[in-house]
Amino acid sequence: MTAQTWPFEPYKIKMVEPLPVTTRARREEALRDAGWNLFGLRAGDVTIDLLTDSGTAAMSHHQWAALLGGDETYAGARSWTRFERTVQEIFGFRHVIPTHQGRAAERILFAALVQERESEVVPSNAHFDTTKGNLELLGRRAKDFPISEARDPSTRAPFKGDADLTAVEEQIRDGKVPFVMLTVTNNAGGGQPVSMANIRGMGELARAYGIPFVIDACRFAENASFIRQREPGYADVAIPEIVREMFAQADAITMSAKKDGLANIGGFICVNDDEVATRVKQLCIAGEGYPTYGGLAGRDLDAIAVGLREVLDEDYLRHRVGTTAAFVEALAARGVPVLLPPGGHAAYLDARMFLPHLPWDHYPAQTLVDEIYLEGGVRGSELGTVTFGMDSTTGVERPATWELVRLALPRRVYTRSHLEYVIETVAAVHDRREAVRGLRITSQPRVMRNFTSRFAPVAQAEALDPLEPPTRKFATRSARD
Ligand SMILES: *Cc1c(COP(=O)(O)O)cnc(C)c1O
């Protein structure tokens, strides 16, 4: 186990928000009311909220000040000019189109790119769920091409987010690929970074076959920080330069400002091609708003513009990536099974190894995420059979490839002592793991069931005689490929 020091927070606190402190009895009640689904909890019952790193960042005083300077002119606002100039400088594209968040950027750009082509499959290192959803809504298939090292949770490869370019090329040769994608960092695959070599390779492949290359840029700054840290030749290259080099390879990007925009809402599209930009702007007007505000208030554009510069700060990134690493390594040192090496924004606990006595249809990851909440009021998210195990077209349920609990770290929100409390909480569950019993589903929709399914402890659920259980089928293949 690599010893990992905790970097100190490169900021101080000048506004505080009290944390709810709850009793075990209150948490039991809250969990029962929520049907053992943590999405059903109210914020007042959560002490440390690691459900997501999306839209949960603490804004800086410069961002709050920028909000007051927001210009709410409908078309061509001064806020828009500041936003456009910042995004162009950082990412280097000709056209910038704002959207209300990342998934709107996906919906619009994909619709503009698949137009008039007979095309079926969009390859990526790993599609995020909204990316996949937006492609499927257009009748296209989203297909993941991770490298083989990504499949082993304990291999400490430096760039486990890379795509398997040989397999991507085979897919392109088969025809019907409208464009290729990379997600940086790879969220679905554990927040693992993509190397500059892989980004360059994907760019060369796209150019060789005359198709566009789109980057899902949500965690671009965290990715750049890993390139600097781990890729030979980049140790002395400034972060903004690494970012420019990454995006010089791409034809377009989709971005969620709720991640590395350090904002609470927002997103955007960047594109170089004039014709694609024209189509994107039309779709933006139809669904989001005039293309100089794209579903956002002028003040939001200003907060994002400031956030995009702050996220490139070396001290910020050293703390961000260093804290995630220290957190993950500390869990590993306590014997907690975690995905390695640490990624940029979260710890991923392997629930199958944590609770080996639970069968897959007692939902080990859901059980674990609930136990961690009961233990200390810490909320994580399930990324296992509940989220990925249901085939929505057939209604058949099978074990997902991974059975993970994600503890995502909001940016600039929690301090080291909060995370030490989380480590103690998880370790306490680990100490009593053999006594943990699983869950049964008592009600569920077929689509996106992780958000609204209700559960009950196995013993109680059987007494309740739940609804007809879903059809089950064992399979070793990924439920997602
Ligand atoms: C969050 C996220 C999105 C979608 O962005 P939203 O702002 O939540 O709509 C797309 N891709 C990745 C990799 C993400 O993490």
pLDDT digits (tens, 9 = 90+) for 131-156: 988 998 888 999 999 999 888 888 88
Choose which residue among 186, 259, 296 to substitute to test ligand 1 binding: the one with the highest number of ligand atoms within 8 A of its C-beta. 259
* pLDDT of res. 33: 97
Query: How far, in Å, is the centroid of ligand 1 from the Cα of 391?
Result: 22
Query: How far, in Å, is the centroid of ligand 1 from the Cα of 334?
Result: 32
Who's near 147: CB < 8 A, 6+ residues apart? 125, 157, 160, 162, 163, 164
Architecture of the CATH domain 61-310: 3-Layer(aba) Sandwich (3.40)
Query: How far, in Å, is the centroid of ligand 1 from the Cα of 256?
Result: 5
Q: By the 8 A CB rule, do 110 and 138 touch?
A: yes
Tens of pLDDT, residue by residue, the chain (481 residues) = 455 799 999 999 999 999 999 999 999 999 999 999 999 999 999 999 999 999 999 999 999 999 999 999 999 999 999 999 999 999 999 999 999 999 999 999 999 998 655 668 999 999 988 898 899 888 899 999 999 988 888 888 999 999 999 999 999 998 789 999 999 998 777 889 999 999 999 999 999 999 999 999 999 999 999 999 999 999 999 999 999 999 999 999 999 999 999 999 999 999 999 999 999 999 999 999 999 999 999 999 999 999 999 999 999 999 999 999 999 999 999 999 999 999 999 999 999 999 999 999 999 999 999 999 999 999 999 999 998 888 877 888 999 888 999 999 999 999 999 999 999 999 999 999 999 999 999 999 877 899 999 999 998 766 655 444 444 444 333 333 3
Q: How far from 64 is each of 12, 85, 114, 317, 467, CA to CA, in Å?
A: 15, 20, 39, 21, 50
Who's near 139: CB < 8 A, 6+ residues apart? none
Ligand 1 within 6 A of 103 CB? yes
**Degrees, nearest 5: CA angle 136-140-143:** 85
Choose which residue among 51, 53, 100, 128 to substitute to test ligand 1 binding: the one with the highest number of ligand atoms within 8 A of its C-beta. 128
The one-letter amino acid code at 477 reads R
DSSP letter at 58 equals P
Q: Please identify, by atom number, the ligand 1 atom nearest to the C-alpha of residue 256.
A: 7
* pLDDT of res. 51: 98
Ligand 1 within 6 A of 128 CB? yes
| Closest Cα to atom 7 of ligand 1 | 102
- The span from the CA of 319 to the CA of 408, in Å, is 15
Among 174, 175, 184, 181, smallest CA distance to 206 is for 181
* pLDDT of res. 189: 72
pTM, rounded to two decimals? 0.92
* pLDDT of res. 332: 97
Q: How far from 359 is each of 381, 399, 436, 441, 476, CA to CA, in Å?
A: 19, 10, 12, 14, 14
Ligand 1 within 6 A of 256 CB? yes
Query: How far, in Å, is the centroid of ligand 1 from the Cα of 456?
Result: 30
Query: How far, in Å, is the centroid of ligand 1 from the Cα of 248?
Result: 22
Ligand 1 within 6 A of 329 CB? no
pLDDT digits (tens, 9 = 90+) for 187-222: 777 889 999 999 999 999 999 999 999 999 999 999
Query: How far, in Å, is the centroid of ligand 1 from the Cα of 21?
Result: 30
| Closest Cα to atom 4 of ligand 1 | 102
* pLDDT of res. 479: 37
Query: How far, in Å, is the centroid of ligand 1 from the Cα of 369?
Result: 22
Query: How far, in Å, is the centroid of ligand 1 from the Cα of 344?
Result: 15
Averaged pLDDT of the chain: 93
User: What DSSP letter does each residue of 128-158 carry, written as one string?
Assistant: -HHHHHHHHHTT-EEEE-B-GGGG-TT---T
Three-class SS of residue 127?
A: coil
CATH number of the domain at 24-46+313-480, out of 2.60.40.1180, 3.90.1150.10, 2.115.10.20, 3.40.50.970?
3.90.1150.10
Domain ranges of the chain: 24-46+313-480, 61-310
Ligand 1 within 6 A of 216 CB? yes
Ligand 1 within 6 A of 37 CB? no
| Closest Cα to atom 5 of ligand 1 | 102
Ligand 1 within 6 A of 226 CB? no
Ligand 1 within 6 A of 183 CB? yes
Among 240, 255, 219, 211, smallest CA distance to 97 is for 255
Query: How far, in Å, is the centroid of ligand 1 from the Cα of 135?
Result: 14
| Closest Cα to atom 8 of ligand 1 | 102
Q: What region does 289 belong to: left with phi over 0, alpha with psi -120 to 50, or beta?
A: left
Ligand 1 within 6 A of 134 CB? no
Ligand 1 within 6 A of 346 CB? no
Q: How far from 77 is each of 67, 83, 294, 298, 301, CA to CA, in Å?
A: 14, 10, 12, 7, 10
Ligand 1 within 6 A of 102 CB? yes
Report the percentage of the chain scoring pLDDT > 90. 83
Query: How far, in Å, is the centroid of ligand 1 from the Cα of 102?
Result: 5
**Pair of tokens at residue 309:** 């510069």
Strands 95-99 and 267-271: antiparallel
Choose which residue among 127, 187, 219 to substitute to test ligand 1 binding: the one with the highest number of ligand atoms within 8 A of its C-beta. 187
| Closest Cα to atom 11 of ligand 1 | 128
Ligand 1 within 6 A of 267 CB? yes
